[in-house]
Chain A
Amino acid sequence: MTINTLAKGGWHREQMTCFQKMEKVIVAMQDPDMGMKMRNQRLLITVIPHAMTGKDIIDWLMQNYNINEEESLHLGGFLVQYGYIYPLKEPRCLVLRPDESPYRFQTPYFWTSTRWPVSELDYAIFLAKKNIRKQGELMEYEKERYSVLHKRINHTWDFVVMQAREQLRASKQRRKADRIVTECQEQAYWLINRPPWPLNAMICCSNTIILSVRAYVLMCRFVKYSEQYQNHDPIMQGCLPSNPWISDDTAHWTMNAALVPIPTRLRVERWSFSFMELLSDAMGRQEFMMYLEKEFSAENLCFWQACEEIRHGESSKIVEKVEEIYKNFLAPGAARWVNIDSKTMDKTLEGIKHPHRFVMDDAQMHIYFLMKKDSYPRYLKSDLYKSMLSKAIVPQETKKSVFPFVRRQRHSSPSPAQAAEDSRSKGPQAGSD
């Protein structure tokens, strides 16, 4: 092992040889003739089949490898540490006890070597499953890692949640006993193989490939974004009827003023690019409000706007604005009551007792994403939007307008160096622009 291979994560290769050797031992231990005698073990009220005691393991190793008890305990300890055997009592304590404590063999599906390289994605799916099953009751360290992963691989989160649900559904179709066993196995696997903390991108060398894939996919975003907005970029594609700075005609600005009777088509199209685009356009927001009123959920947008005013408004007005919001949107029986989940509601109501600029953030975020995921997509499919799109103006290009990309050569102002040379050879000349 040179420093070079160590640096690039080459230690994996060395580890793999060890795993292969350990697996040989494990397979031998499960040999039907010469392997260990398995029996049913009692664990509290359940009877676990195919289990063995710590003492059994040590005895077998001593016998078959001709070693003494100390060495056997040492070797057996590694088998437990690397997850090939897992304890049933105190699953988090990965030691081999030379007594009646029950143990089981880990299924090859969950062998470290089989599932190499460990991916964050895999771990995220596991935590998501556990989170759903236990309704949020994860261990502290699991909660921390779950939220770290949520940030790190946020772009895959839809997949993570979907996969967690699917796997849970598939497991429900199995017998209860099998399900419990699988859960034990999975838990044991992740105790050992969970990605290291804090997660450093380059720790697993095999992850370099996955990182490149991810980087590639992430960077496609920029290509997509630029392509989507290209027609809206005046410097690149020109604008209709003309660019005011070039033609000295302000028609473009007049047509695109904040509130106009009929907006331009490009503008209405832009509302469909993202929820943020819709909300940041005064007219878009107005249209969306009209749509929400039809759906009887306009209080959501009003609430969001009121929260924005607190976040960005004057400090002196915060307390009174929070009061207003509580009265109008949050108090029981409020005229425009917003539907927030109970946890967020409790937290917000607590925070209102000592109002500050960010006290509404959680509730505001909740409502924002509610509108984004639910009302916004439906708005884009609605008649209101579609008719706006068809009514929208496509301005005529003004005859005098000049598009930036022309075939004939256009010279920008000559460089000062060139101008200096010219003046030297030709004498003083007229201004360059």
Chain B
Amino acid sequence: MCDQTFMAATFGPCESCGKPSPLMNIYIKNEAINYCSFCVELMACQGLQSGESVASLKRECESLKKKLEEERGKLNDVELHQVADKIEVLGALAIKTRRVLKGHGNKVLCMDWCKDKRRLVSSSQDGKVIVWDGFTLSKENGISVPCTWVMACAYAPTGCAVACGGLDNKCSKAVAMHTNYVSGCTFTNSDNQILTSSGDGSCALWDVESGQLLQSFHGHTADVLSLDLAPSETGNTFVSGGCDKKANVWDMRSGQNIQSFESHVSDINCVKYYPSGDAFASASDDATCRFYDLRADREVAVYQKDSVIFGASTVDFSLSGRLLFAGYNDYTINVWDVLKGTRSSILFGHENRVSRVRVSPDGTALCSASWDHTLRIWA
């Protein structure tokens, strides 16, 4: 005789969906229930709150399953916009230029906001780095950097320092030294460490005080054009994008490449995390922006339109993550509805390529930097 030490239903109608299938014996608060593996998976994903009854879980599972059945007929994989069907469509956005910052003598390549929500720093091809009070339009500081093409600049968290880097392969007072141009730099959560990305294909973490290399990140097979730090509780990861069309997620402590995404068909110019930290967006020369879910480990949305032909050079999210601002080489900024995948509006104003867009720290405004020598603040 085979062992059957307790009565267990192994096949029959699932107590949740009713379909006859192999059953798993699950216990909820000492109550034995028989669900098919599909329903168990659903329940586990939903998370069991203490005090939640099996009945209420069943109801939730039912509605989710019905929704999924509807969608499953259409596509094999679930796309973000399907999930977003139940949200209302955004009304027309009425954003316009509120400030124009003139003062650079050449293409503005990069900008960054200060944590005080009104100051910003910008860098330009003419070797100048300017600190502005965006609100009053006054220039507070101007630094001449002994190189052209200052491609990267960043404001330190305390607001007391600025880092910049470019064609001289260095970042700031030679804190960071790469063997090729510095394409992007950002301070980590303090003024003491800088993360840089470089045309030499690597990213690196530096100690500002000593100029020491703390960690290097190798894995890209071509120039790394952009990076962004994850806004997470543990604060240990960042994402980088490069000319090898890949976006890589790295562990800052170990230097390991944790995740990799390759779905763009051309260079990735910019990467930016979604505010919650478990997704990010990328902008590419292939005229699309894409949205990647880190937990599902795949791309879940593509933002593209037939009329958008030129490459996207920069992206940033609005504070809630609902809007994605992307600057393009056709001088425009397209505003995408992140969840629905549609283009919400288009902003005209710049007279040359938009090199960088950044939403202010409190989400009240968007700043764009352009090859037309100006910066604009939109709200």
Contact = CB atoms under 8 A, between A and B. Distances in A.
Contact of A212 (B68, B323, B350): B68
Query: In terms of DSSP, what is the predominant structure of the interface of chain B?
Result: loop
Contact of B28 (A166, A201, A409): A166
B351 A169 contact: no
A315 interface: yes
Given A170-B32, A219-B78, A245 B68 contact: no
Given A185-B3, A208-B76, A250-B135, A226 B321 contact: yes
B209 A315 contact: yes
Interface in A398-433: 402, 404-406, 409-410, 412-416, 418, 432-433
B364 A178 contact: no
Q: Which of A158, A244, A410, A418 has the most B CB atoms < 10 Å from its CB? A: A244
B5 A121 contact: no
B57 to A, nearest CB: 10
Contact of B190 (A215, A243, A313, A410): A313
Contacts of A225: 274-276, 320-321
Interface residues of B, number: 107
Contacts of A234: 319, 362-365, 379
A245 B377 contact: yes
Interface stretch (B124-132, B169-177, B265-273, B294-302): B294-302
A159 B44 contact: yes
A105 B96 contact: no
B83 A216 contact: yes
Interface stretch (B6-14, B103-111, B304-312): B6-14
A33 interface: no
Contact of B297 (A108, A201, A212): A201
Contact of A404 (B24, B68, B94, B214): B94
Interface string B41-74: 1111111100000000000000010011001100
Interface string B1-33: 111111010110000000000101111111010
Contacts of B343: none
Interface string B74-101: 0011101011101100111111111110
Interface stretch (A63-71, A111-119, A138-146, A291-299): A111-119
A30 B135 contact: no
A244 B135 contact: yes
B221 interface: no
B362 to A, nearest CB: 7
7 contacts: A160-B44, A170-B27, A178-B5, A222-B338, A229-B321, A412-B95, A415-B348
Interface of A: 30, 38, 50, 104-109, 114-117, 119, 121-122, 153-156, 158-160, 162-163, 166-167, 169-170, 174-175, 178, 181-182, 185, 201, 208-210, 212-223, 225-230, 232-236, 239, 243-246, 250, 252-253, 256, 275-276, 308, 311-316, 357-358, 361, 365, 368, 402, 404-406, 409-410, 412-416, 418, 432-433
| Top 3 closest pairs, chain A to chain B, by CB | A312-B190, A105-B2, A166-B27
